Chains A and B, each alone.
Chain A
Amino acid sequence: MGERKGFIVRISGPVVFAKGVEDIKLGEVVYVGEEGLLGEVVRVSRDYFAIQVYEDTSGLRPKEPVTATGKLLVAELGPGLLGRVFDGVQRPLEDIAALVGPFVRRGVKVPSLPRNKRWHFKPTVSRGEKLGPGDVIGVVQETPLIEHRVMVPPNLSGTVKEVAPEGDYTVEEPVVVLESNGTEIPLCMKQEWPVRQPRPYRERLPSDVPLLVGQRVLDTFFPVAKGGAGAIPGGFGTGKTVTLHKISMYSLSQIVVYIGCGERGNEIAEMLKEFPALKDPKTGRPIIERSIVIANTSNMPVSAREASIYMGITIAEYYRDQGYDVTLIADSTSRWAEAVREIAGRLGELPVERGYPAYLPDKIAEFYERGGRVKALGRPEREGSVTVLGAVSPPGGDFNEPVTIHTLRFVGTMWALDTDLAYRRHFPAVNWLRSFSQYADIVERWWVRNVAPDFPQYRRKALRLLTVASEIEAIASVVGESALPDDQRLILLASEIIKEGFLRQTALEGEDVFCKPEKQYWLLKMMIDFYDKAYELIKKRVSVEEIMRLPEIYEMMQVKEDERGLEAVKELYGRVMARLEEIAKRHGVTLESKAGVIAGA
């Protein structure tokens, strides 16, 4: 099916209705008008078809031509993706700037992957080998951080007839020629994949390894597993974007795909300023070399925003298939849902909830379901994962709205951001009472194996303590703290230490931006053991005031920032315990190492 011509009959914002192509198919890419604006067919009927146009439609007139390409909306996949910034339909924004200056003009056509750049290709197959879908045919050092594994596209197989010798090639030059049933299939480093279809894999693997992000409240209390899905809902100013930026910068993932869909231009500018400056801790290379940014900011065309999510996840799957752990971040899925709503409205579809079409939940589910840990197609055997993290921007910060509700049905982790915490400048403003993680029990095994066998006890106890403390706080705000019994005041003190010393964490710089698991464990252990011992003292008639006067309390809140790291925590732990023993001795009581009870739990 090649190019066919039709013409415009009606224009309504980003949706254009056209006629004149009999065999038009859903999802087909079309060029609209004299300027050839990029669009995709979203509805087909016997006498017309509707096109979602990815660029501004001002000035288009009825009867202007429409060219159908016969192709679906695809992502171009191959070396040259890493370190670059694309718009929602994968046009490289640097190249657009070079062509038309600092403003994005419409009708600009640039290839996604650079055509003239030569990559050093090392073949890994030889003539006569039989290859199937997904088999690696050679490698390219795409950036100093990432080796790009060139694969047989998922729908092809055959016998190797020719292999190019190691050398420099462009993405369009054939590097391997396959023979299948007497036909020759040239393979180059570039392949295409329709963005709205998930890329195939051999089998799904369980998600049982945590994706460590270095933020204590997330790693310890509400972990997300590699290949899992998480949502981060929160009103404006609660720090969704800052949290996701930090995850994209510090998390232990090999590749990060960041989709800025419908968000601020200055936030993208900030990332592009920071990513080249920030070094990967393991290799010392700038993290931009492992990152791909898709930037369709809020003022860019709304229909390209709808496509940006699929573009991003297709690229993520492609690197997953090469055997990498990929983190995909979408900020914000609410803006994407609004784009879906707008297109649906223009097509005259029946709205169900707050104007959203009835298929919104399906769309959200499809997106999150494309995450996962898998065994990839082809040889050599590879395991990769796509972890999907989506920001949700609920109107008015109220989670009781369609996008939040449906998202929570399909994710395993929710980091609920809280306006009150943000007002108190408690960041990350993750509400420990409302957030959840279904991966917690599974990844606990990882902590037990790799960090400490008693980690789960401490985690649970801390959560319980925080829950009880929030109830006591409600009472204290009425009667005043000094009117409470000593054991309740101790709970408040301990929860204060946990909040300030453990949950609160800087996003800016210094020792505390990434907290290693061992340090997380020791910090928590210190605080809970302190509580247990102090509880025992109080039960044995020591006044809580005496404990509150300990200078180490302030230190427990601050030690997270000590540049000596874990060592400082362990040292402080020793001192805290010794202090409590001292108090015990002074009062002539003995401390048994019994766990304290949390009243009300």
Chain B
Amino acid sequence: MPDELLQYVVPKVGGKIYRGVREIRGSLLILDGVEEAAYDEVALIFGKDGRERVGRVLDTSIGTAIVQVLGDREGLETDTLVKLTGTTFKIRLSEDVLGRVFNGRFEPVDGLPPVLSGEMREITGAPINPVMREYPHDFVQTGISVIDGLFSLVRGQKLPIFSVSGLPHNMVAAQVARQATVRGEGEQFAVVFAGIGLRKTEAEFFLEQFRETGAIERMTAVINLADDPAVERLMTPRIALTVAEYLAFDLGMHVLVIMTDMTNYCEALREVSSARGEIPGRLGYPGYLYSDLATIYERAGVIKGRKGSITLFPILTMPGGDLRHPIPDLTGYITEGQIFLSQELYSQGIYPPVNILPSLSRLMKAGIGPGKTREDHRYLADQLYDAYSRGVKARDLARVIGEIGLSERMRRYLRFAEEFESKFVNQGFYENRSIEETLDRGWEVLSILPEEELVRIPRRIIEKYHPKYRS
């Protein structure tokens, strides 16, 4: 039997092949007698069951290497053949990746042949030199009022959705992917979708959405399903971003990368870290979780002198809805803002159920204003935010002392909050609003308040845009 294996493998790969592993511990193979395995090198593993697997070198010293098996490892014996390929994990890239669907090892799962031509790229990527970054400043219109109006997305930004299981974050992401445009430009646009540990129905939902709008032609999907091996989840976002970098910085496209669910990525990282016996940080997640996430998120950006851009729209579900859990916490420290979804709003039937107060877009100020959106945008957004926070305060107070106990002024803010949620925030899944429409809606709900309450807006702007002066 083993000789059969040899007969099968040797002609196929050639070169030096190692036989036998000392120990199989979870997904880790410990190899003895190995000379010069390179750190992070890719290994091919041939089991007696006749299946070929892929692995990566995690730790190497003279005489020993630790190889992590990607994919299914059931049925492996210590009598296994291992071939060190001599290179780190690379994928082949050309324009043909558009319109394709791959798994977490970059093997096609759409029934079409693999990408054959093009150049090989390492999936870990190299950091963008900070001095070569262009500060992001192009407004992306998502057609969703609450995002465009209050938490504007800017090309080259990384803006995550912080959600909880059961909320419609996938719908929001699909709607953004469908509607996102930069106005007044006929530039090339592409979507890269990374599904990390997705349920089949979720993956189907996204692919269906993209097919429906014809967006599939302009996108690449890398999908790791919930029953695919966890360690492949570590490669899925990196493959997606390597594709995105190629499309953006080689082909000059504006790429929107949607990654869901980053929580599954972090779980996989914890699993691998504990298998390696590393010292855990908070809640068992490795101490380098922050740096590791940064090597993913920081690949978003705009580069001076290059045409394309990478905008990142990751989704994560907060375990237990806890914002202070390490995953949302460390993500928030890296990303440029966050959009929170709220259970409370969703149960009132409001879509998208964006929790306004803790949400934020850090790069908004550079992307809005005259020539980009409209001159009143910043003041209007400030005023809406401020008024809504007063409205929420009034609602809290009303719960304690009753609405009757509120002052006239507080009651008006309470009404504002209700109107704001139902007329401004709430919108249809297929409703695509222009930024003008969004801003005008904002003015409309704001006109509930007396003019002297609009302290964040300069007089001349009020006189130009307030419905009272326009009609």
Interface residues of A (CB under 8 A from B): 9-13, 17, 56-63, 85, 93-94, 96-97, 101-106, 235-237, 260, 262, 264-266, 268-270, 272-273, 295, 297-300, 302, 335, 338-339, 341-342, 345, 351, 354-355, 393, 395-398, 423-425, 477-482, 508, 554, 558
Are A480 and B291 neighbours in the complex by a CB distance under 8 Å? no
Name the one of A17, A57, A104, A235 contacting B127, with C-beta atoms under 8 angstroms: A104
Residues A299 and B36 in contact in the complex (CB < 8 Å), given A265-B133, A342-B291, A397-B324: no
Are B88 and A59 neighbours in the complex by a CB distance under 8 Å? yes
Are B132 and A236 neighbours in the complex by a CB distance under 8 Å? no
In the complex, A61→B295 CA distance in Å?
Answer: 23
Q: Report whether over half of chain B's contact residues are helix, strand or loop; otherwise say mixed.
A: mixed
Closest-CB distance, A130 to chain B (whole angstroms): 44
In the complex, A504→B100 CA distance in Å?
Answer: 52
Residue of B nearest to A341 (CB): B287
Name the one of A101, A260, A479 contacting B401, with C-beta atoms under 8 angstroms: A479
Name the one of A62, A297, A342 contacting B298, with C-beta atoms under 8 angstroms: A297
Are B131 and A94 neighbours in the complex by a CB distance under 8 Å? yes
Are B61 and A102 neighbours in the complex by a CB distance under 8 Å? no
Are A269 and B130 neighbours in the complex by a CB distance under 8 Å? yes
For B363, the chain A residues whose CB sits under 8 A away are 266
Closest-CB distance, B372 to chain A (whole angstroms): 16
In the complex, A452→B421 CA distance in Å?
Answer: 50
In the complex, A97→B87 CA distance in Å?
Answer: 26
Residue of A nearest to B84 (CB): A61
Name the one of B35, B129, B294, B386 contacting A97, with C-beta atoms under 8 angstroms: B129
Closest-CB distance, B72 to chain A (whole angstroms): 25
Are A477 and B397 neighbours in the complex by a CB distance under 8 Å? yes
Are A335 and B290 neighbours in the complex by a CB distance under 8 Å? yes
Are B133 and A266 neighbours in the complex by a CB distance under 8 Å? yes
Name the one of A10, A354, A481 contacting B61, with C-beta atoms under 8 angstroms: A10
Closest-CB distance, B251 to chain A (whole angstroms): 15
In the complex, A105→B127 CA distance in Å?
Answer: 8
19 A-B pairs with C-beta separation under 8 A: A9-B62, A11-B60, A56-B126, A61-B38, A63-B35, A63-B62, A97-B132, A102-B132, A102-B249, A103-B129, A104-B129, A237-B332, A237-B360, A264-B336, A265-B133, A266-B156, A297-B294, A297-B298, A478-B400
Are A59 and B301 neighbours in the complex by a CB distance under 8 Å? no
Closest-CB distance, B51 to chain A (whole angstroms): 27
CB under 8 Å from chain A, chain B span 20-58: 35-41
9-residue interface stretch from B111-119, B199-207, B274-282, B423-431 = B274-282
Are B405 and A480 neighbours in the complex by a CB distance under 8 Å? yes
Interface residues of B toward A: which range? 35 or more
Closest-CB distance, B18 to chain A (whole angstroms): 15
Most chain A CB atoms below 10 A, which of B132, B326, B337, B405: B132
For A341, the chain B residues whose CB sits under 8 A away are 281, 287
Closest-CB distance, A490 to chain B (whole angstroms): 17
Interface residues of B (CB under 8 A from A): 35-41, 59-62, 87-88, 122, 124-136, 156-157, 249, 278-282, 287-288, 290-291, 294-295, 298-299, 301, 303-306, 323-326, 329-330, 332-334, 336-338, 357-358, 360, 362-363, 365-366, 382, 385-386, 389, 396-397, 400-401, 405-407, 455
Residue of B nearest to A268 (CB): B130
Name the one of A11, A262, A299, A425 contacting B386, with C-beta atoms under 8 angstroms: A425
In the complex, A480→B330 CA distance in Å?
Answer: 38
Most chain A CB atoms below 10 A, which of B305, B382, B397, B406: B397
Most chain A CB atoms below 10 A, which of B126, B294, B333: B333
Residues A58 and B61 in contact in the complex (CB < 8 Å), given A345-B278, A345-B279, A398-B324: no
Closest-CB distance, B414 to chain A (whole angstroms): 13
Are A11 and B128 neighbours in the complex by a CB distance under 8 Å? no
For A478, the chain B residues whose CB sits under 8 A away are 400
Closest-CB distance, B455 to chain A (whole angstroms): 7
Residue of B nearest to A348 (CB): B279
Given A63-B36, A262-B294, A266-B336; 16 other pairs, CB 8 A cutoff: A58-B124, A93-B129, A104-B129, A237-B360, A260-B130, A266-B135, A270-B366, A339-B291, A351-B279, A355-B280, A395-B326, A396-B323, A396-B326, A398-B324, A425-B382, A425-B389
For B135, the chain A residues whose CB sits under 8 A away are 266, 269-270, 273
In the complex, A425→B387 CA distance in Å?
Answer: 12
For A558, the chain B residues whose CB sits under 8 A away are 455
Closest-CB distance, A159 to chain B (whole angstroms): 44
Are A396 and B324 neighbours in the complex by a CB distance under 8 Å? yes
Are A298 and B334 neighbours in the complex by a CB distance under 8 Å? yes
Residues A295 and B131 in contact in the complex (CB < 8 Å), given A103-B126, A264-B336, A354-B281: yes
For A56, the chain B residues whose CB sits under 8 A away are 124, 126
Are A62 and B332 neighbours in the complex by a CB distance under 8 Å? no
Residues A482 and B88 in contact in the complex (CB < 8 Å), given A298-B290, A424-B389: no
Are B334 and A264 neighbours in the complex by a CB distance under 8 Å? yes
For B136, the chain A residues whose CB sits under 8 A away are 266
Residues A11 and B59 in contact in the complex (CB < 8 Å), given A93-B129, A423-B389: yes
Are A338 and B365 neighbours in the complex by a CB distance under 8 Å? no
